[in-house]
Structure 1
Amino acid sequence: MCGIVGVISKQAFPASFIQSMNNTLIHRGPDCESYLLGGMHEFDINPPQCNIIDSPIPFAFGHRRLAILDLSEQGNQPMCYRGRYWIIYNGEVYNHVEIREELETLGYTFRSQTDTEVIMASYDAWGVDCLNRFNGMWAFVLYDSKTEEIFISRDRFGVKPLYYYQDNQHFIFGSEIKALLKHPAVTKEPNIEYCKLFLKMGSQDHLRETAFKEIYRFECASFLKCRIEEIFHPFKETTFWSIQPNLSNEPYNEAKASEYAERYYNLLEDAVRLRLRSDVKIGSALSGGLDSSSVAYLVNQQLKAVGCGDRQETFSSVYRTTGSEYCDESYYIDEVARSLDVRSSTIEPKVEDIIEEHRKFVYYLDTPARNTVMSSWHTYKLTRACGVKVTLDGQGADEQLVGYLDYMTSYFSTVPLGTLIREGPLYRQIPNASSFIARGSILNLSRCLLGEKLSLSILDRLGKKFSYIPVNQRMSDDLILSLGTLFHWADRGSMAFSIESRMPFMDYRLVEFLATVPATYKLHGGWTKYLARKAFDGKLPENVCWRRDKMGWPIPEEFWFKGKLKEYFIRALKNSEFLLRVGIDFSNVSEIEIFDRYSFEFLLRCYVLEIWYSVFWGRDAYIPVNPQISSLD
């Protein structure tokens, strides 16, 4: 895991530009700083490692290394292969061992044990098709000095970030937006339309546009290959992977359910096996829910199998303070830790630290989030303080296994009426369930009486008030729409503390399998995530495996901002000049009315947006004193 930056320009530029950009990412890679300068015969930097090559136009690559595999200097980047290919790369290809063995049968040799070298050899062997062989997370830029071509790619789900700025003179890119802002060609301006959309809809990390004007995200599951001098022209990435969900309403079958559960378990087990490959200490985040507990269980089994069970550590945020207990998951965290006999460390965010800790996280996030994300932030803070450099985490399962209650409207609107009746227990656990049932019943009844096309036509005339998106289709969409935000938070939160976060649920083999499983096996007998519960039944504590009230990763933000931090919260809203620029004016709303007139979720988005603006443009803009935060102080 690392940080990468680059500048390709039609004009000569000082090499100090790339060093300034690279230093912004020291938290992503504190172990080494290296550069590649192409077509630049005069340079004013002298880092530990600086490579100079010829190029038809000037360019510079910078890299900050977080050493995970092959801790020797052989793993430093920019890395060269066969004197031809140069790469800067952020991520992990977990199946690099198997790919290396295949390449060796083809005559390829290697000087390091890194996955970085395997990527370049794979590209030499198979061209752009190499991407389909990679199981992992990545964002890389590769330069072929023989053909003078640039090859850029980002992983299937966009776990690893890559941003760029482009005009007719420059192509500037990096792992984080703040690095791009160090280049004088990039204007530091907020994207007002994006900010307005954020206030209306929340986080928009699936979009190409960002909260910064003229800075864009490189698309996930895609690549760009072009001659280096063509990089200044507008481009459209080529997609190399997509998913085709099973949209059938196949009736539930117990024998088939057992087969699906076994296949699910085996795939997740192998995903964990691959993600345990590391030359540094590994831990895992534990929230007390089924997903993180499943990962912790599989890590436990595999470590014990090699006699290392005593090395397992888990990390959690808890809320035991009076008034915030509604977000506390410590009972379930302790249940799992006891059952697995692991070392469990917990941290409780202190209300008096929230304002400053949130400002720090906003700086590392680069863009506004729909909430404070303090549970995740403090968990990574604790992890780093305990000396752990890699974590296996549980993100991604909810979006594949029907873990969110708002999937219910899709489910009830497409299943047969008989199935709907049988799912009574599921109905009873859903808040405001009558509205879901009403919508689903109307859709089903209209289909029975009027036929498919006519029922949809009538519902469309009613203003499209009724959801008719099949569950698996919604989950497929959310792999991009929802998970983009979760991955953004995970990447920035972990990398702020120089930690690599790995996500077994995002193994593409598991994702492709779950997309083929009919929704009736994910929702069954009144249970969400039925397939996963069945797979881990008898392995995890029953009150964790068959728990109905899991809250996600809860944060007691209302307790904080309606309590001790209320005055600060309201003052930030009422005095915000930036909120006025995006059309929001709280100046004439009394402190008594503000919580009655607006939803807390909306107020929180407004607050986060104001903090984001103040961090990057305010008079008290945040400047990290020591970007590599590692203590609990």
Structure 2
Amino acid sequence: MCGIVGYYGPGGSEAVLRKMNDCQVHRGPDGEGSFIEGPVGLGHRRLSIIDVAHGQQPMQTADGRYTIAYNGEVYNYLDLRTELEALGHTFTTDSDTEVVLQAFAEWGGDAFDRFNGMWGLAIWDAQEQRLTLSRDHFGIKPVYLAQVGDTLLFSSEIKSILASGLYTKAVNERSLYRYLRFRIHEDGRETFFAGIDRLEPSEMLTVDASGVERRMFTRLREELAELGKQQRPYDDAAAAEYKERLFESVRLRLQSEVPVGTSLSGGLDSSAVAVIINQLLNQGDATTKSVGARQNTFSAVFPGSANDEEKYVDAVLDICEGQVDSHKILPTADEFKQDLLDFIRTQEEPLISSGPYAQFQVMREATNHVTVLLDGQGADEMMAGYIPYYFVYLRQLKAQGKKDAALELSKSLDVLYRLGRFKLQDKIKRKKVIPATAFMNSEFSSKYAGEKFATEGNNLKLRLIEDLFHNSLPSLLRYEDKNTMRFSLEGRVPFLDKEVVKFIFSLSDEAIIKDGWNKRVLRDATRGLLPEMINRRRNKIGFTTPQGEWFMRLKNYFYNIFLSEEFANRPYFDQNEVLHAFEGWIKGTNGVDSMTFWRLLNVELWLREFFDDKPEVIDEGPVRIKTDLEPNADKQLALTTSLGEQVTRYPLRSELVDKDTDLDPFVMEHIDRFFATLGADEEHSQAMVGKQWYFFISEKIIAITQGRSYFIWDINVGRPARVLSKYVTRTPAGIGLGSPFTMQLAIQEAGLPRVLYASAGGAVGKVLGKKGLFYELVGNDIRAIDGPTEYSAYPSNVSAKLAPKDPDEVAARLSEQIRSRVPQAYRDTFGGTIVMDANDIGRNVLGSDVPGDQGRFEEMFADNPLGQGSEQTPMAIVVVD
């Protein structure tokens, strides 16, 4: 398996080709090559599978007319080679690449429909000055396109087009809307990048001086529809023939000069592949040479999770005992968080759920043992593996007036119940169902409100064809291609043998669904090979993750992303609605599922990865923790206030506090440490002797230790808070009452009448041009309410808090203890304690035991020298010169 890149047109060059090819080393670590002639450039990265010693690319015919860059495997290449040799062709390698090239030289674009395999390729015809691109029948291998001015770029990965320097990045907002609204992607040529398309399955493109032409090289879709009408009776003979064809398909896909393994989820499809290989090993089949004496299987398991399939994996391993080496991977939520950006970068476009991360983990382990991996992809879309297909079939039977529609329904009730039970539970609990558009920016959603997504709902075979080529399978194949190639693996899919697919569609619908059993022909074909618990299981899980459980564990991390300024400033989201729904999901009070939040999260991280400017990372070596005598980063110790006072502020670094922290000992520990540090520093100690000094403490840590800080999901937001918060300007970093949860705290603290009074006053103030009247009327206690701040340390990043209770009393109490323990030289000059609400927008003294003008102390914090994030400096010693 490999990666291809290239261009056609005057914008291309050797430098462009190099940049594009360098982006996909992972797709082909075994070699690289390039070809430039006239308007065309072809680049290639090779992962050697067949004819490892030869087959380097780009490859040319002996006469130099045709040149190919090819990513794929054509499994019937030996038969094609024999046919071509009979027509006079000679071969210098044993690779399928040369067969593909000479087949095109002989038959042109008609050659593609003769291939049985997977590919994405480019062939240059020097005589006709024409470039041809092609993608296999089912789209197993990708080809991306971008027309940039008069130059066409193409590649196996989008990143290569981005790296060309010719394409200007832009979001395809239509694709983004359809993904957020309908949960779909890969439903046509368009990608999530405006101006970057993909070749569709079975499509070829030609480009020359006359322009670009795109067309299908096969009638496969039409053939499947025509075969579906034939309805060949299904019987034991048909099941036996299918079994023989499936065995042959697996056998063909074992052709390799490098080790081959199996991806085993425990489901019917991948288990079938594993036991077929085991059977071939038992028979001593020559094709199993690539497997070795023991089959390597790779499985993701989730012990203790509701969707763990380890018992099914183990049942298959028992069948294969003595001829199998099992590799079990145990992905965790913490690993998911750690790998998330790499995973999103690997996939290049948003994906429907976090499920493919399990596959990502499996591939990372598999690459340590094998180079080729077989799996069960595609069986669901040709044999009705998903529950919604039952509804299509039942509607079809009803429309045909068949009496057995009711019987089929009765035998499918347990399967259908699994689909509807969660919706039923939500209705019983009266959980609110929130439409996807509620989470979108209103202008964005209005722009695309006319978008529709319809599926075939009354004909089973037509729906399967639709999902094979359009709705479902293309995205799954994309996941597989990206995940395997990320780790330099080749993935092979035996179920997507075009002759096997055509055979299934020639059978009656009862070969697919009968008596409530889907995949009937596969079940019949593997009876006696598969463990009964797998052959007769009716619940499908597949390669997925315990997403709901993981999201709950990582809720703080995800909440911070939704809370971030980046997310708030996107033109696609309504941040307040997203935050409110996420809080409700955590508390179990709405019917929104984790899939919705995954799509929002995935889009945000995708935008950050591919569109946001990334700050330059400078390696400054190991992180050095500041001492109490040093300022925070980008701050300073000294300040001259507008009143002319010279002050020096020493931020005290501390541990994190929580509601169980005893504030007084906590503060005294840091006071003791400061003066111990000061005593060892002659310069600073002499500078402080005889000068008045004060202890400043952030109101935040006082409130937290008083139990006046609340996790967002523990705040029950009422309708008044939700309405009123919309009329308050949202300040950066979550400060203020511009969110429903902080407004709810304000209502609880001050009472709704007082908040309404202040709101009315604030509205009048805006008309009169007077700012801040709301907070003057509502009071400092309410002004000090803070929401979760993105850059604060946990738990402040996911909490909202009230002002501290009795801050004057707290200040007096702390001052009394400080005077009793500081060195004598500094005791008489201690002025007292100030409880400060300080941030980068404003400062407010909430309490103190020092008589005098509060504005004086607020001036001392004009640049907010404290730090609530990683600095962890919520206290300061302030010395007045």
Give the TM bin, normalised by the shorter chain. Answer: 0.7 to 0.9
Structure 1 contact 93–135 (Cα < 8 Å) conserved: yes
Displacement, 1:464? 13
In 2: Cα distance, 1:504 partner to 1:247 partner: 21
- Aligned residue runs from structure 1 range 1-12, under 5 A: 1-11=1-11
The answer for the alignment partner of 1:429 in structure 2 is 415
Corresponding residue for residue 854 of structure 2 = none
2:773 equivalent in structure 1 = none
Deviations 1:1-29 (A, max 9, x none): 10111022225x54122111101000000
1:471 aligned to 444, 460, 463, which one?
460
Q: Distance in 2 between matches of 1:379 and 1:103?
A: 40
Verify: 1:541 aligned to 2:531, yes or no: yes
Change (3 A) 1:223 1:425: same
Counting only pairs closer than 5 Å after superposition, residues 187-202 of structure 1 correspond to structure 2 as 187-202=168-183
Q: Report the secondary structure of 1:431's partner residue.
A: helix
Give the structure 1 partner of residue 561 of structure 2.
572
Task: Tell me, in whole angstroms, the C-alpha distance in 1 between the residues paired with 2:608 and 2:149.
Answer: 31
Q: Secondary structure at the match of 2:331?
A: coil
The structure number with the bigger radius of gyration is 2
Which of these residues, 73, 95, 98, is aligned with residue 92 of structure 1?
A: 73
Residue 86 of structure 1: CA displacement? 0.3
Q: What is the SS of the residue equivalent to 1:544?
A: helix
Q: Give 1:120-519 correspondences, 5 Å limit.
A: 120-227=101-208, 229-230=209-210, 233=211, 235-243=213-221, 244-245=224-225, 246-247=227-228, 256-306=234-284, 310-320=293-303, 322=304, 325-341=305-321, 342-372=324-354, 373-385=356-368, 387-415=369-397, 416-423=401-408, 424-431=410-417, 468-480=457-469, 481-519=471-509
Tell me: CA distance 1:472–1:71, structure 2 relative to 1, closer, same or farther (3 Å): same
Cα shift readout 1:120-175 (whole Å, capped 9, x = no counterpart):
11112222211121000011110111222212111011110001111342111100
Q: CA deviation at 1:218?
A: 1.3
Q: Write the distance in 1 (CA, Å) between the matches of 2:341 and 2:36.
A: 35
Query: Do the aligned residues in 2 keep the contact of 1:614 with 1:621 (CA within 8 Å)?
Result: no
Q: CA deviation at 1:514?
A: 1.2
Given residue 550 of structure 1, which amino acid in structure 2 is its aligned partner?
K
Q: What is the deviation of 1:31?
A: 0.6
Distance 2:89 2:200 in 1: 31
Of 566, 586, 589, the residue aligned with 2:575 is 586
Indicate whether 1:76 and 2:56 are aligned: yes
Post-superposition offset of 1:298: 1.4
Return the alpha-carbon distance in structure 2 between the equivalents of residues 621 and 219 of structure 1.
37
Work out the CA distance in 1 between the residues paired with 2:420 and 2:482.
Answer: 39
**Aligned equivalents of 1:520, 1:570: Cα separation in 2:** 48
Q: Which residue of 2 aligns with 1:21?
A: 20
- For the residue of structure 1 that corresponds to 2:262, the secondary structure is strand
Secondary structure at 1:512 match in 2: helix
Distance in 2 (alpha carbons) for counterparts of 1:137 and 1:154 = 8
**Contact 1:10–1:169 (CA under 8 A) maintained in structure 2:** yes
Deviation at 1:421, TM superposition (A): 3.1
Counterparts in 2 of 1:329 and 1:287: CA distance versus 1, 3 Å: same
CA distance in 1 between counterparts of 2:183 and 2:493 reads 24
- Label 1:355 to 1:432 Cα distance change in 2 as closer, same or farther (>3 A): closer
* Alpha-carbon spacing, 1:482–1:467, altered in 2? closer, same or farther (3 Å): closer
Shift of 1:615: 1.6
User: Cα distance, 1:616 vs. partner?
Assistant: 1.6
Name the residue aligned to 2:835: none
Residues 384 and 427 (structure 1), Cα distance of their counterparts in 2 relative to 1, 3 Å cut: same
Give the AA of the match of 1:238: M
| CA distance in structure 1 between the aligned counterparts of 2:267 and 2:330, rounded to whole angstroms | 18
Contact 1:427/1:433 (CA < 8 Å) preserved in 2? no
| Alpha-carbon distance in 2 for matches of 1:384, 1:163 | 25
Distance 1:484 1:475 in 2: 13
Quick check: 1:476–1:515 contact (8 Å CA) kept in 2?
no
Over 3 Å counting, the alpha-carbon distance change for 1:485 and 1:318 in structure 2 is same
1:468-495 residue CA offsets vs partner (Å, 9 max, x unmatched): 4211111111001210000000000000
CA offsets per residue over residues 404-425 of structure 1, 9 Å max, x none? Answer: 1101111111114421233222
Q: 1:343 to 1:464 in 2, by over 3 A?
A: closer
Q: For each residue in 1:379-437, what CA deviation from the matched residue of structure 2 results, as whole angstroms up to 9, or x when unmatched?
A: 1111112x2000111000011111111011111111144212332222233227899xx
| SS of residue matched to 1:71 | coil
SS in 2 for 1:108: coil
Q: Deviations over 1:186-206 (max 9, x none)?
A: 001222221111111224113
Q: Distance in 1 between matches of 2:453 and 2:485?
A: 42
The match for 1:604 is 598
- The answer to whether the 8 A contact 1:579-1:606 is kept is no
Show CA shifts across 1:232-266 (max 9, x none): x454333423223355596x96xx32122112111
SS in 2 for 1:327: coil
Structure 1 window deviating more from structure 2 (299-308 vs 610-619): it is 299-308
Tell me how far apart the structure 2 counterparts of residues 313 and 89 of structure 1 sit (CA, whole Å). Answer: 28
The total of aligned residue pairs comes to: 565
Say which SS state the counterpart of residue 500 (structure 2) adopts: helix
**Alpha-carbon distance in structure 1 between the residues aligned to 2:457 and 2:405:** 15
Secondary structure of 1:126's match? Answer: helix
TM-score (norm 2): 0.61
SS in 1 for 2:235: helix
Separation of aligned partners in 1, 2:453 and 2:364: 45
Asked whether the 8 Å contact 2:512–2:518 carries over to 1, the reply is yes
Whole-angstrom CA distance in 2 between matches of 1:622 and 1:356: 21
Q: Secondary structure at the match of 1:181?
A: helix
SS in 1 for 2:220: coil
Q: Give the partner amino acid of 1:169.
A: D
- AA paired with 2:599? R
Give the letter aligned to residue 411 of structure 2.
P
Q: CA deviation at 1:68?
A: 0.4
* Preserved CA contact (<8 Å) 1:21 1:183: yes
Supply the distance in 2 between the matched residues of 1:556 and 1:23 (Cα, whole angstroms).
Answer: 36
CA distance in 1, matches of 2:459, 2:557: 44
Percent sequence identity is 33
- Counterpart AA for 1:137: M
CA distance, structure 2, for counterparts of residue 586 and residue 278 of structure 1: 51
Q: By how many angstroms is 1:356 displaced?
A: 2.5
What residue ranges of structure 1 are gaps of 5+ in the alignment? 39-54, 436-462, 624-633
Q: Which moved more, 1:82-91 or 1:188-197?
A: 188-197
Q: In structure 2, do the counterparts of structure 1 residues 363 and 621 end up closer, same or farther at CA, with 3 Å as the change threshold?
A: farther
Where 2:24 maps in the other structure, the secondary structure is: coil
Determine the structure 2 residue equivalent to 1:455: none
Q: Distance in 2 between matches of 1:262 and 1:580?
A: 60
8 Å CA contact retained: 1:335, 1:541 = yes
Alignment CA distance shift 1:432-1:290 (3 Å): closer
Please give the per-residue CA displacement for 1:294-338, whole angstroms capped at 9, x wherever unaligned: 111111222333375623111000001x4xx21211111011011
The verdict on how the C-alpha distance between 1:469 and 1:314 changes in structure 2, with shifts beyond 3 A counting, is same
Shift of 1:465: 11
Q: Which amino acid aligns with 2:499?
A: R
- Matched residues in 2 for 1:100 and 1:426: separation? 48
8 A Cα contact 2:512 2:520, kept in partner? yes
The residue matched to 1:211 in structure 2 has which SS? coil
* Partner-residue secondary structure (3-state), 1:236: strand
Structure 1 stretch displaced more, 487-496 or 584-593: 584-593
